[in-house]
Amino acid sequence: MDEPLVRWDWIARNWDNGSPLAIRTLLENHVVMAFAPVLFGLLLALPIGLACARWRLLYQPATAVMNIVYAMPSLALFSILLSVTGLTQTTVIIPLTLFSLAVLIPAVVDGMTSVPDHVRQSAVAMGFRPLRRLLQVELPIATPVVLAGVRVATVASISLVSVGALIGQGGLGALFTDGWQRQFYTPIIVGIALIVLLAVGADLVLIALQRLLTPWSRARRSA
Amino acid sequence: MITFDGVTKRYADGTVAVDNLSLEAASGTITVFVGPSGCGKTTSLRMINRMIDATAGRILLDGQDVKAIEPATLRRGIGYVIQQAGLFPHRRIVDNIATVPYLLGWDRKKARARAMELLERVGLDPKLARRYPFQLSGGQQQRVGVARALAADPPVLLMDEPFSAVDPVVRASLQEELLRLQSELHKTIVFVTHDIDEAVKLGDTVAVFRVGGHLAQISDPATLLSEPADDFVRGFLGRDRGIRRLSFIPAADVPLSPPPPELVLAEGKPVGWKLDGGLRPYGSFNPATDSLRAALDASLLSANGLAVAVDGDGGVLGVLGRDALDAAVSGVARG
Ligand SMILES: Nc1ncnc2c1ncn2[C@@H]1O[C@H](COP(=O)(O)OP(=O)(O)OP(=O)(O)O)[C@@H](O)[C@H]1O
Ligand SMILES: [Mg+2]
């Protein structure tokens, strides 16, 4: 009798069985390790990106550094970090934060560049001082471009977390190693399905957020 | 009053955009800066609200040196309108107009009420208040730009080619609107344009600049047209100076004759000339509001050269013959 491709009974038994490899636990770890880097990345990318937009000379060197980090194999980054942070989630979150910076810094710079010069000039002429101009005029207008970067970084981060399985911190990635070792496909299929669902779900949430935050830009595109 | 006192602007690269400029823009009037591209109009304008700081000389606002006023505070008291309107794309029209009131700390309700009042004042439908700028036509955006500049009721208004990006019909209506607003508000307006016709139409005073930031001539429009200071100004004014000058002479004093029997009327209003057995076209003008230029135009449009004078309701007052017109026009030429 053929083994079915997906053994639903295995999923039911392993969904929430209290073990560290329970699917639900892995899913939760995955979510944490995927979103933390985007959040930290955004917090870092905002000041760095604003500085690069303000002092253009910084931008070239900053992107060069970011691209080198991006090109570095995650495995190499893990092994460097292992000696400092050990087999923890932090060891996965740090490299992923660096990866997301490589997307988010250019997004912030492009966002600031997308503010039309005549709009910036008229803000100055109305009597905005620099900080208020940044918070009330420039950042809101940059938001659609920055959010587009956040979507890319989020989806990339969700899929990259599984690499952490190499050091036992891969979230749903653990299902892949488990499945390959036992030549048992159900965990692998479950892992892929959940990661894809997570990515699509997160993207939909971000699209909704974008429509909510920037009604003026959605309307502009459809006009 | 805005006073330029020996103002020079030299940019970092050595370009002298404005060279030792001295002039006065009287309170409650429209002063137009006009001149070819690159002659320093925008630079001069922006030195008033300190978006550019002068290299030498002083600019006084009612006697006070603008350099003594903190820039943001200074700017909140000076309305500013530019060519692309510069509206904030992420704010609804009502909030765009309320920008300066918000900056000045007015409460939201009062600022919005003021914005709604201005929206109507510049001739826009209050329904547009909830829209975003991209949902408006170029002409409507430009009106919003004017409303925004007026929101905190600043005594001074700076306008940098505000109407040059819209089509001629819309431009003409925006110009009329500005003149109407000015007759109610009496702001001190400095208006920049490269279009001499716009300058002559809007300006109480016209300052003609030549490249290098030199003032070539400053005078009222009628004098500018009749007595250009030099060849540069004459060339810049272009053709038809004589006819354009007639726009500044009211037609109120022209002698009218009673309408001849050939003028066909319907309920007291002209319909045409009965000539050669047919109905031929006529031209009309209103002596109370029109200029000699309109009277001449009416004469040229009439099949028999008689300009028909009408009152505000279109009722016939009389006709103006070529001889009488000629006398009026030659009177202007003699000065
Ligand atoms: N930031 C700057 N640095 C160097 N030169 C400048 C700068 N801004 C303007 N200029 C130069 O100063 C001169 C006057 O410029 P300005 O913008 O005042 O001209 P303008 O009369 O407004 O022209 P236009 O009708 O084309 O708008 C030009 O030669 C211009 O190239
Ligand atoms: Mg200019």
The residue extents of the domains of chain A are 8-211
- For residue B212, the ligand closest to its alpha carbon is 1
Q: Does residue B194 line the site of ligand 1, with CB under 6 A?
A: yes
Write down the pLDDT at residue B295. 94
- SS3 breakdown of chain A: % helix, strand, coil, rounded to 5? 85, 0, 15
Closest residue to atom 16 of ligand 1, CA basis? B40
Write down the pLDDT at residue A223. 41
Question: For every one of its 223 residues, what pLDDT tens digit does chain A have, with 9 covering 90 and above?
Answer: 567 788 888 888 889 888 888 999 999 999 999 999 999 999 999 999 999 999 999 999 988 988 888 888 877 888 888 888 888 889 899 999 999 999 999 999 999 999 999 999 999 999 999 999 999 999 999 999 999 999 999 999 999 999 888 888 889 998 998 888 988 889 999 999 999 999 999 999 999 999 999 988 865 554 4
**A contacts of B76 (beta carbons < 8 Å):** 126-127
Write down the pLDDT at residue A76. 83
How is residue A138 annotated by DSSP? I
Write down the pLDDT at residue A220. 52
**ipTM for the assembly:** 0.84
Percent of chain B exceeding pLDDT 70 equals: 100
Residue-wise pLDDT for B303-321, tens only, equals: 899 999 999 998 999 999 9
**B contacts of A140 (beta carbons < 8 Å):** 90
Does B194 score more than 70 pLDDT? yes
Non-local CB neighbours of B56 within 8 Å, separated by 6+ positions: B6, B7, B8
Residue-wise pLDDT for B78-123, tens only, equals: 999 998 889 999 999 999 999 999 999 999 999 999 999 999 999 9
Token look-up 């995955």 returns: A30
Q: Which helix (DSSP H) or strand (DSSP E) does residue B148 occupy?
A: helix B138-150
* Residue of B9, B43, B48, B193 to test ligand 1 pocket, by largest number of atoms within 8 Å of CB: B43
Phi, psi of A17, rounded to the nearest 5 degrees: -95, 15
- Residue B24, number of CB atoms within 10 A of its CB: 15
| Signed CA dihedral, A88, A89, A92, A97: sign only | negative
Q: Nearest CA to CA, how far is A117 from chain B (Å)?
A: 9
Does B329 score more than 90 pLDDT? no
Architecture of domain A8-211: Orthogonal Bundle (1.10)
Q: Does residue B37 line the site of ligand 1, with CB under 6 A?
A: yes
Non-local CB neighbours of A8 within 8 Å, separated by 6+ positions: none
- Residue A182, number of CB atoms within 10 A of its CB: 10
What's the Rg (C-alpha) of chain A? 21
Write down the pLDDT at residue A73. 81
Residue B230: strand, helix, or coil: coil
Non-local CB neighbours of A164 within 8 Å, separated by 6+ positions: A33, A78, A89, A91, A92, A170, A171, A173
Q: Nearest CA to CA, how far is B235 from chain A (Å)?
A: 32
Domains and CATH numbers, chain B: 2-247 (3.40.50.300), 263-334 (3.10.580.10)
Report how far ligand 1's centroid is from the alpha carbon of B40 (Å).
6
Q: Does residue B41 line the site of ligand 1, with CB under 6 A?
A: yes
Contact between B51 and A141 using a beta-carbon 8 Å cutoff: no
Query: Could you tell me the pTM of the whole model?
Result: 0.85
Closest residue to atom 11 of ligand 1, CA basis? B17
Average pLDDT over residues B151-174: 93
Q: Does residue B55 line the site of ligand 1, with CB under 6 A?
A: no
Percent of chain B exceeding pLDDT 90 equals: 82
How is residue A100 annotated by DSSP? H
- A135 close contact with B: CB closer than 8 A: no
DSSP string over B168-188: HHHHHHHHHHHHHHHHHH--E
